[in-house]
Structure 1
Amino acid sequence: MRLLVAALVTVVSLGLPAVSATPAAAATGCAPLQSGASAAAQAAVEVACRYVGQQYAWGGGHAQGVPGPSQGQIDRTSPESYADPELWSFDCIGLVRWAWYKATGRDLITERTTQATFAAPGYAHTKFLKSQGSGVLLPGDIMYFGREGFGPTHVALYLGNGMMVEAPESGMKIQVNTISARWERYQGAFRPHADVTPGVWSWDGRGSFHKTWGQPNLRQDSNTSSRINFTNGNGISVKVRVLCQRVGERATLDGMVNNVWSFLPDYHSWISNLFVQGPAVLKDVPSCGDFPEIGGTLAGAENNTSCGDGTEPNSAGAWTAKSTTVFGRTVELRYNSTTQCAWGRITGGAPGDEIWVDRSADGGTTWSPMLGFTTITSGNDAYTTQWNDAGLVMRACGTNGPGGAIECTGWF
């Protein structure tokens, strides 16, 4: 029930388990249970029902400008929410937002709180009061609950026949319940006036899920001059369905360069792979050439990213994967998870100290030696150029000057 309250923060994705939608209507009884609802309302119910059994996440579904399952946040008033950042899912209004977006192709609810959407829905609708009872309700109607005089604190989708689907609170799962259990706190309902958009269901069940980071624009085409369809204004990581990828315009961000773009069928939009967690070219995601109605290939992707062999390691997000010491010097294998590049660095040394990397395709049994060999020419530090590490292992080796001892990090 606890809801996101205007969280305009940038969230760093943790790379932890994501929540996936699964058809659940037959097993859960979650489906439109009465006739008379619009096609859009029935579709909204069907979307919400796919997530029955998935874990609630406080703040989930509240990326600014981009609906969909997103990284949960901690509600400081609720210890049960402390694990929510490990989930990509929904809170109560986040689920309703996604359900109606998927049904209509329009972000009707936006990332606002339950209280805000009850006070000013912001879309054409019919409103129902508690005094009218439940007999006027139809599947897909958005039901609001809360303490009298305090405004609503919870929202659910009506299924019909006295049943609803809801995301209750941290520590619980999205589930089907009777409205009688909450009727005492029922405050009213809204019925959106919107048409179903069949195109939003294109390639339903196809593609794989990936997580965003940063504040990407989702565009009409695979270039930065095309129309922006959605903008992630607060940087909350969203779990997006990627259908395919292709080479498009070369884009740059924080020193990283990539010309690969991914097609997101739930948004009918493109995202630069700079904003998708993972390597520059996503593994196991096919070329858009496999989908003639989309088109495009990955030709040129291997030579037009920020991870070209022998290029400068100037991309953000690097970390030390392995390290060792040689006579007081620190030898590090630096690695960038987004581009899958690695390079060597030696620190705390002196002029003449050497650093290089070895790269192996068989787990370290054999290797290509001394890639990017360089020495400290002044000061105390030096680094090699970067080398593609996708599907390979690498290590960094350093010396305390020509002819000195050689120490290598472990393979990574």
Structure 2
Amino acid sequence: MMRSLVTAVVLAAMACLLSLTTGVTTASAATACEVRGHQDDISEIAKSIVANACGVTDAGTWYTWTGGHGAKPGQTYGAIDWSDKDKSKFDPIRRGFDCSGLVRWALSEAYGYDIAGSPGLTNNIYGLYPPGSQRFGAEAGLDPLLPGDILFWGKPGAIHHVAIYLGAGKMVEAKESDTLLMVSDFRMGAKNDYAGALRMAPKANPPGGSPGGTGSIGHATWGDSLNVRAQPNTGSSVVRTIPGGTSVFISCQAHAQSITAEGTTNDAWSYLPDLGGWITNIYLKGPAWVPDVPSCGDVPSGGAGGGGSGAAHVTWGDSLNVRAQPNSGSTVVTTIPGGTSVVISCQAHAQSITAEGTTNDAWSYLPDLGGWITNIYLKGPAWMTGVPTCGGTGGSTGSGIAHVTWGDSLNIRSQPNTGASVVRTISGGTSVIISCQMHAQSLTLEGTTNDAWSYVPDLGGWITNIYLKGPAWVTGVPTCASV
């Protein structure tokens, strides 16, 4: 989500990213929102992405904090950004988008379904990699970019801004509260934290069409809360939960664990690369074996393809720690078994590890798990083929710091008190980005009394510090503006 000098929507330090003077977009800037050159070099998908974003920009749409993150893509009313209450005070009565809400909507209109998924936050968009996509590292700069490419700032797991490239050094973005969507000059960022770009795959066929052996889009789920799992069985970890009625991209399907649910028995499971996991075909509308979707082949470990950024790779060994930073001294965000199929967004050279008779300094970032794993425990070469280099080594950035929750079901609330509405419920052990903290309602829980609450921008709400691992007042996190 966009955070800036004026709004500091992730935290005040992220404001250094923005070196341009901000303000309401002028009419001339709005009319300049268009593909700039390369008309013959870009896909229809890229043209559509730009046209969608420019359409709402030209219409004078507002930036609104948390805008565009409803159950379906589209403009929503915003919320107050407590790190800059004054600038965002009108956001709750303005319909519009924040940075990732805008990109989520532009992508959904281009592809015909919500490819980023709900809630479609910056890290969700960064983790996308439909077959046929391309990634470009930050070190490449502008040279390889084409109109329609998706631009990112931050680090894996802590992406804090996203925009759409127009060409000729320009981009369209939802920048900050109290401004309209705008066309801006491309910027590397004051902290040089431009994280690279994603060129989305060209649209090969309409929803439900023949995949030509590469998968198929536009399949609808049904039911209530549906678990997408790391493996094609109910004993594996849940990587995502989606509502019934979600349109999903299927890359392939396989015969695996037989499930009986809703009066039906079926052993077919489909792999959803955009979500990084498997769903039983029982909850896909249509026949038991989805027409025109190829077989994944033999998937004893739950894998579904490989090679390339965002592809599924398989771990080995016993209990494997996924860490907040690419080193063995950092916090463990989760532990997974060997044989788990994981999605890798990028890899980096960091702490050198010696284990299992091997020494390696390469670590891979797992966006679905929010952390890093040494490449020693990934099947394949020491440096993963086809996986790009990360634009940094993760962890804290100007946009916030990754921390880990504990406990059972934890409520994220719209205000820092227990009387406020619950905007999200998360499990203990979740890695979260904190933008700021403040003293508010005092709670006594788990034998502890604490009045500190932390704001979690990617979830759009507050959590008591009692359920954050670490001290009562989180070290290194700034104080929010008063509520």
Higher alpha-carbon Rg: 1
The TM-score by the shorter chain falls in which range?
Answer: 0.3 to 0.5
TM-score (norm: length of structure 2): 0.35
